[in-house]
Amino acid sequence: MKFSDEVVIEAGHGAKNYWKDLWKNRELLWILSKRDLSVRYKQTAIGAAWAVLRPFATTVVMVFVFSKIARLKGDEGIPYPLMVLAGITIWNLFANTFTQISHSILINSNLVTKTYFPRLIMPLSSVIVGFIDFLISLFLYAVIAIWYQHPPNWQIILLPVFVLLSLFAALSFGLIFAVMNVRFRDIGQLIPFLVQIGFYVCPIAYSGKLVEANHDVWWYDIYYLNPLVSIIDGFKWCLLGDGAFFKIEHLYSAMGIIALTLGISIYYFRKEENSFVDYI
Amino acid sequence: MQVIVAEDISKKYIIDHQKAMRKSSTFRDTFSEKFKHFFGKGAQDEIEKEEFWALRDVNFTVEQGDRVGIVGHNGAGKSTLLKILSKITEPSAGKVTIKGRVASLLEVGTGFHPELTGRENIYLNGAILGMKKHEIKAAFDSIIDFAGVEKFLDTPVKRYSSGMYVRLGFAISAHLSPEILIIDEVLAVGDADFQKKCLGKMRDVSESGRTILFVSHNLAAVQSLCNRAFYFEHGQLKMQGDTTHVVNNYLSHVAKTNLEHYWETPEQGPGNDQVRFRTLRIDPDFQEGKNYIDVRTSVKVHIEFWNMLERADLNLSLHLYAFTGECIFNVGTTSQSFEKGLVTATLEIPGNFLNDGSYVISIMVVKDTSTVLFQLPEALSFEVEDHREGVTWYGKWPGYVRPQLNFQINQSEVLV
């Protein structure tokens, strides 16, 4: 008999071929994502229509509250509802992916306690699920942009950059929360709360220009420490065109922060993943 | 060739006594503990951290093609060992070298999603167990055939009967083609026919030169399938070698659990100023060549106590409990008048009456058939091992008792 591999299991040493193992398990990654997607709308009457209905309903409410009641104005030459929808689209990508990553280990606890595979598969499958939801929302945006006859400019080709950045941001924060969630169930309580705060702190229902107008206030620098701010601004700029507010300088610091957090969170996740089963 | 080499593997858990009741901790607990600790109060008596060694310095080797049965009490470290070998948890110390692809089956149907159909779950479970998509596809027909669920292939598994669920789960894992197969207690589920299939499948696997590690409480199955056995106790590998030898040793060890108590003087014995126990003993009438109690063995329970009362009407009441707490029976002696001094009683529990399992005896001394003078809740405990003849079924025999009743079967008519 030919032996395909030799494994050494030792205290304190993670699997030696971790990244290779991860690649070998790509089919599992895909199938777990497929499971999450196909399970979600089982026994619902309207099924996958929920994926479109939810962002649409949020947008309608936002547009009504902010433009009719609070009388906020969008950027010059850009339909306000379209700006809100663009903001919600990218924010939902981040928020949904982040939330799902944070819960990914706990939700799959039956797998964690009974079988081995690189644990990163679980958060990564949440990324795929989040991305597919995003594609549906983007389609909704496209339909409404056609309705408003507001085609994108050349910047649209940069859209993947911001989508990718947003996924990296979700992964970098989500991994840390996923690990902590295994030991402290408080995290589960905290997440919806954080997402809600984020929704108002980020320039979704309003334009970044309103913040820029305040650039001499003390909280201005702190505001831009949030990497999501410039990702959202950039995403809106890609979809809405030159009229949308976006300052590329802010993006560099955001990328730095995301890269740093991502490094730390992957390190932390790898360090803790072998003990998940002992605490879950 | 050695396919598994384990060197000094240990696994330590930290048990937090204060939080033992709670499933998981919260920030508040951690913070408040830190706080208390900072002010130096309550740290010792409230937070009692205890090390628990689920496995301690375990060494063994497994040769290619070995079928190793792993036996031991609950909590002896068997499952922890399997988890380490399957890479689910890492050892606290030591090293294991494994040659070959490992598949572990710690549960039947791991990761089955109740909302997904049988078909979808085959792919899901197969991927979780490490099969490639083309492997699953190739084995697909054979899986549904083995499980016998072709009619329900497109039904969500939440609508499956528990038998179908288990059959499907096992069928998938039976089609794994690992070099080393690790199995934890899968025979505890399913019906006779299914279990026969499982054992047959496991034999096929081992005959093709693969290695099997098999944990089971079912010693009959271990004996029929395995050529070697490991006996674990308190996290240590107590014994290894030929299956029959190890299993017999394990059984005779089990049987010694709590069979006898003796107190020299009344001051030492449990009781009060009215009655005190002197002897509590279980005398098994072992089967020939055996030194443990099995379902055929009759046992005598001897009880001796000091009566400190001047002339009293006393009787004994004995409860036999299953390990899980249900009362199997309660018997009482007749009430008689006794002088101050020693009183003895004997109860015979016949063979072919109790089912296999663990039992606990509690004894009460009663005065005037109404007043309980003293009660000893866990006076004695013993285990009854399984024994079967002329059956090919190895599942857990159901029921609290396993009496041999007169059950006749005859051919009453022949159709020509």
Q: Is residue B122 part of a domain?
A: yes
Residue B408 falls within a domain, yes or no? no
Place of tokens 């509802």: A81
Asked if B132 and B36 sit in the same domain, the reply is: yes
Answer yes or no: do A116 and B113 touch at CB < 8 A: no
Whether residue B411 is contained in a domain is answered as no
Among residues B253, B269, B301, the one where a domain terminates is B253
- Selecting from B26, B94, B156 the residue whose C-beta is nearest the C-beta of A186 gives B26
Question: A39 contacts in B (CB within 8 Å)?
Answer: 113, 115-116
For residue A21, the chain B residue with the least C-alpha distance is B130
Residue ranges of A 87-126 with Cβ closer than 8 A to chain B: 108, 110-117
Are B142 and B222 members of one domain?
yes
pLDDT digit string, tens, across residues B104-156: 888 888 888 988 999 999 999 988 888 888 989 998 999 998 888 888 999 99
CB contact under 8 A, B132 and A27: yes
Cα angle B90, B94, B99; round to 5? 75
Which of B24, B85, B115 has the CB atom closest to A39's CB atom? Answer: B115
- With bands split at pLDDT 50, 70 and 90, how would you rate the model's confidence at B20? very low
Q: Looking at the complex, does the CB of residue A193 fall below 8 Å from at least one CB of chain B?
A: no
Do B236 and B265 sit in the same domain of this protein? no
Give the structural domain span for B356. 260-384
pLDDT for B228-238, tens place per residue?
999 998 888 98
User: B207 with B305, same domain?
Assistant: no
Distance from CA of B45 to the nearest CA of A (A): 23
The pLDDT value given to residue A1 = 46
DSSP code per residue over B109-137: TTT--TTSBHHHHHHHHHHHTT--HHHHH
The answer to whether B322 faces chain A, any CB pair under 8 Å, is no
On whether both B243 and B379 belong to a single domain, the answer is no
Report the distance separating Cα A205 and Cα A85, nearest Å. 9
The reply to whether residue A35 touches residue B113, judged by beta carbons under 8 angstroms, is yes
Residue of A6, A8, A10 for testing the chain B interface, max B β-carbons within 10 Å: A10
State whether B83 and A183 contact (CB < 8 Å): no
Same domain, B272 and B356: yes
User: Does B128 contact A278 at a Cβ distance shorter than 8 Å?
Assistant: no
Q: Is residue B218 located within the same domain as residue B97?
A: yes
pLDDT for the residue A198: 92
Question: Is A4 near chain B, with CB under 8 Å?
Answer: yes
Residue B201 has pLDDT above 70, yes or no: yes
User: Using CA atoms, how far apart are residues B33 and A272, in angstroms rounded to an integer?
Assistant: 22
Regarding whether B235 and B267 lie in a shared domain, the answer is no
Same domain, B6 and B144: yes
Cβ distance of A277 and B88 shorter than 8 Å: yes
Q: Are strands B260-262 and B228-233 parallel, antiparallel or unpaired?
A: unpaired
A12 interfacial to chain B (CB closer than 8 Å): yes
Is the residue at B10 inside a domain?
yes
Q: Is A241 helix (H, G, I), strand (E, B) or coil?
A: coil
Question: CB contact, 8 Å: B15 with chain A?
Answer: no
A39 in reach of chain B (CB within 8 A): yes
Predicted confidence at residue A160, as pLDDT, reads 93
How far is Cα B254 from Cα B273, in angstroms, rounded to an integer? 35
Provide the number of structural domains found in chain B: 2
CB distance A8–B89 less than 8 Å?
no
Closest CB from A10, A27, A185 relative to B127: A27
Question: Which of B232, B253, B274 marks a domain boundary?
Answer: B253
Residues 58-117 of B with CB under 8 A from A: 64, 83-102, 104, 106-107, 110-111, 113, 115-116
Mark which of B195, B222, B253 sits at the end of a domain: B253
pTM comes to 0.73
Hey, of B26, B79, B85, B89, which one would you mutate to test binding to chain A, going by the most A CBs within 10 A of its CB? B89
Tell me, yes or no, whether B303 and B201 share the same domain: no
Predicted pLDDT at A14: 61
Q: Is A114's CB within 8 Å of B84's CB? A: no
Residue listed under structure tokens 């001047």? B310
Residue of A nearest to B106 (CA): A114
| Contact assignment for B85 to A9 by CB distance below 8 Å | yes
- Block means of pLDDT (10 residues each) for chain A, 280 residues, are 68 72 88 88 79 82 81 78 89 94 92 88 94 89 89 88 95 94 89 92 85 80 88 91 82 92 93 82
B104 vs A38, A115, A183: nearest CB: A115
Contact between B123 and A31 using a beta-carbon 8 Å cutoff: yes
**Is A114 close to B209, i.e. CB distance below 8 A?**
no
| pLDDT mean across residues, chain B | 83
Write out pLDDT tens, residues B225-265.
Answer: 888 999 998 888 988 998 888 888 887 776 556 678 888 88
**Helical segments of B10-52, H only:** 27-38, 43-46
Residue B133 belongs to some domain of the structure: yes
pLDDT at A106: 92
The C-alpha atoms of residue B380 and residue B267 are separated, in whole angstroms, by 20
Nearest by CB: A185 against B13, B24, B106: B24
Question: What CATH number does the domain containing B281 carry?
Answer: 2.70.50.60
Query: Does the residue B129 lie in any domain?
Result: yes
Q: What's at A266, amino acid-wise?
A: I
Which has more pLDDT, B368 or B190? B368
Any CB–CB contact under 8 A between A15 and chain B?
A: yes
The pairing of strands B371-384 and B357-367 is antiparallel
* Shortest distance, CA A104 to any CA of chain B (angstroms): 14
**CATH code: domain of residue B184:** 3.40.50.300
Task: Note whether B279 and B338 are same-domain residues.
Answer: yes
Q: Are residues B314 and B344 in the same domain?
A: yes
Label the pairing between strands B341-349 and B275-285: unpaired
CB-based contact B98 A279, cutoff 8 Å = no
CA separation for the pair B59, B237 (Å, rounded): 8
Buried-exposed string B28-67: b where 16+ CB fall within 10 A, e elsewhere: ebeeebeeeeeeeeeeeeeeeeeeebbbbebebebebbbb
**Chain B nearest-CA residue for A122:** B128
pLDDT (tens digit per residue) in B21-47: 444 456 666 666 555 555 554 444 455
- Percent of chain B exceeding pLDDT 70 equals 88
Q: What is the count of residue pairs from A and B with beta carbons less than 8 Å apart? A: 123
Mutate to test the interface with B, among A31, A183, A280 (most CBs of B within 10 A): A31
Q: Residue B340 and residue B8: Cα distance in Å, rounded?
A: 59
The answer to whether residue B401 is domain-embedded is no
pLDDT higher than 50, residue B336 = yes
Residue B202 lies in a domain: yes
The DSSP element (H or E) to which A259 belongs, if any, is helix A248-272
Pairing of strands B93-99, B236-242: unpaired
